[in-house]
Structure 1
Amino acid sequence: MAEGAARLSLVVALLVLGLKAFAYLLTGSVALLSDALESLVNVAAALAALLALRVARKPPDQNHPFGHTKAEYVSAVLEGVLVVLAALWIAREALPRLLHPVPLEGLGLGLGVSLLASLLNGLLAYHLLKEGRRHRSPALTADGYHVLSDVLTSLGVVLGVGLAGLTGLWVLDPLLALAVAGQILFLGYRIVRESVGGLMDEGLPPEEVERIRAFLQERIRGRALEVHDLKTRRAGPRSFLEFHLVVRGDTPVEEAHRLCDELERALAQAFPGLQATIHVEPEGERKRTNP
Structure 2
Amino acid sequence: MKNFSLKSFIAAILICGSILNLSAETTLQTVDFETANSGYTVLYGQTTSPDDWWERAAPAQIAPMDPFSGYQGSYFFYAEDTDNGRTADDPCYVTLNQINVAGYTNIKIKLLVAGKNNIGSSLELEEYLRIQYSVDGGAFTTFMQYMTPALNAIYYSEDTDLNGSGNGTALSPAFAEFTYNIPVTGSTLQIRFMGNVDQGNEEYAFDYVRILGTEQVLPPGTPENITIVYSSSLPEFTWSAAANATSYKIYSAPDPYAVFPAGWTLEASGITATSWTDTNASASAKKFYVVVAVN
Structure 1 length-normalised TM: 0.30
- Structure number with the higher helix fraction is 1
Higher RCO (CA-CA < 8 Å; seq separation 6+): 2
Q: Name the larger-Rg structure.
A: 2
